[in-house]
Structure 1
């Protein structure tokens, strides 16, 4: 077994117990009665997620069938990468939360699609379900925010000289997001010992490390080696197309990931020394999460509910096809209860992320880190 790290100086955060006046109680009641009764939206997520997997294999097949024509080689690699992100945002993510199928085992089976993409559903689910969702934006806990020392998103993170230019170079590095995930981040999660958030909360079986290597080799085999063997293309042209696939897929996926938690108005709390939070779980979730482009049907389809991110954090086990109907109810409660609900256009969310990068490029912290 790969042992989890124990850090006695960091206590697990515990949120304040919700009282009878907590908005989530009545919000959940209204959502259950007015939205979740519509079973057609549950059927829609099943159809959508399975259809996107079929589309992924269709585009991959087109690489092998039409790839001898160089423009089509690149076009179908890009479409395969684009569909990979669609499957992740619209299917895998919901299944990881148990939100697609009625039976837990069927959702678990679906999450193995991540292995097809060269990653580990075990590692991702532990990262996301045990660290990001309970403690979004919380320094020393939210592993999805703390990605690399190259970028300073947490205002309390160590400042490096290179951060002076992060608002410039990060927009180039974001194109390598999926490549970094597959070939760097997964290995850091399993084998890394410095500042490893994941090992605070989970013990990683050794077979998961072996499986991780195996699935990455398999991904390289069918995405690179097989096209090289089948097509009458130079090996380097196939490799170029594979790289372009990941660059374009990253550009698409990062738009959703950057627009929900990390902008100039985001709060990045530090947990108290004793771990006792002076805020309820539901109030915390709505405080540190933002929506974007919620009125756009195209955004709803492409981003799989990531644009309705407040609804997702308050109702994580509900399929994203319900979120467009849940968000207006959340807005109503935000107005009635004076809740800090935030929503932006996609453009404004990305522009605001640039501002956060620029402000956090300075050694002096410009953001409030502990006040909620």
Structure 2
């Protein structure tokens, strides 16, 4: 549980250096369609910075809560363009009840029906056709996730709801969005500038979507009335991704999703160290522990979404019910 100050300072400083180097190269390249490659590069850098904001929000970086909060504010609002306050509220509710119907905001009805109940509420013929095939649309739709996150952040800061450091968040978001748009328009003509921003925001959303989708989609959906202990509540609905250090870098450590949910304040480099201990303990307790390859996880995501779209009984509920019944005599 010890802090990894050197690891995180290297990541933070490296991110700032990477952004500075990107800006210099962007200006030097000038008016060119090769700037679309620079847009893709910026999308990757922004996603990696978003992962750092996620770590700081979970108090993984520093012992001081204030330090973690300010790192998250700078990373999320000033650099990435997402409201830290809005995201933290949503993410805390997710961690408290992951994949629980009616409680986890990550499976609330939206562009996709992530639960059979949500699919049942779709009435129009076009909507019903869409949810029956929604798995195939999932990854293309992630191209709009970045735009949605930017808009949700601006809307949250502009709303009248409670929000700590509202003016700090508003100032950071204004500087980030206004600064990037100004830089792009100073270097590129309007048409290329629009294409640049579309590619950057679209690939940012795809990258984030591809990193977060394998974590829980396709895992058991917990009925609103089902109560589970903390261990089962976190392990049974989470999925780890195999693949070693390369996958860990690609996914910002979220490939150890089970360990992250059990120990959310554990520094990212330590997740791989506790993984064998958690897997062994779950095996000893008879608790299903899921880990698979990234390709297999994406296939499960697509299959699950299409199955939910058929509005049949969700077979992913059965393991949870069986687990609950198995522990009832001991409680």
TM normalised by structure 1 equals 0.77
Q: Structure 1 residues 47 and 367 mapped into 2: Cα distance closer, same or farther (>3 Å)?
A: same
Q: In the aligned structure 1, how far is the partner of 2:287 from the partner of 2:173?
A: 44
- The answer on 1:60 being equivalent to 2:23 is yes
Shift of residue 59 of structure 1?
1.5
CA contact (8 A) 1:123 1:186 kept: no
Deviation at 1:163, TM superposition (A): 1.3
Unaligned runs of 5+ in 1: 1-35, 193-202
Match runs of 1:255-270 below 5 Å: 255-263=210-218, 266-270=219-223
Matches within 5 A, 1:81-160: 81-89=43-51, 91-112=52-73, 113-116=75-78, 117-129=80-92, 131-146=93-108, 148-159=109-120, 160=122
Given that 2:83 and 2:156 are in contact with CA atoms closer than 8 Å, whether structure 1 keeps it comes out as no
- Structure 1 pair 187–367 and aligned structure 2 pair: CA distance change class (3 A): farther
Q: Which has the higher contact order (CA 8 A, sep 6+)?
A: 1
Deviation above 6 Å: which 4+ runs of structure 1?
A: none
1:221 aligned residue: 178
State the shift of 1:368 in Å. 4.7
User: Is the CA contact (8 Å cut-off) linking 1:258 and 1:353 kept in structure 2?
Assistant: yes
Whether the aligned pair in 1 keeps the contact of 2:184 and 2:193 (CA below 8 Å) is yes
The answer to whether the 8 Å contact 1:133/1:313 transfers is: yes
Q: Is contact 1:53-1:87 (8 Å) kept?
A: no
- Please identify which structure carries the higher helix content: 2
1:198-237 → structure 2 map (5 Å cutoff): 204-205=162-163, 208=166, 215-229=172-186, 231=187, 233-237=188-192
Hey, what does 2:326 align to over in structure 1?
A: none
1:196 corresponds in structure 2 to none
| Separation (CA, whole Å) in 1 of partners of 2:156 and 2:60 | 29
TM-score by length of 2: 0.85
User: For the Cα contact (< 8 Å) 1:304–1:321, is it kept in 2?
Assistant: no
Aligned counterpart, 2:12: 49
SS at match of 1:152: coil
What is the RMSD computed on CA atoms of the aligned residues? 2.5
Check 1:306–1:205 CA distance in 2 against 1; reply closer, same or farther (3 A cut).
closer
Aligned to 1:195: none
Structure 2, unmatched stretches of 5+, are 123-127, 324-331
Residues matched between the structures, number: 311
1:80 aligns with 2:42: yes
Q: Could you report, residue by residue, the CA deviation over 1:27-58 in whole angstroms, capped at 9, with x for unpaired residues? A: xxxxxxxxx46x6x452233223322331332
- 1:185 to partner: Cα distance: 6.9
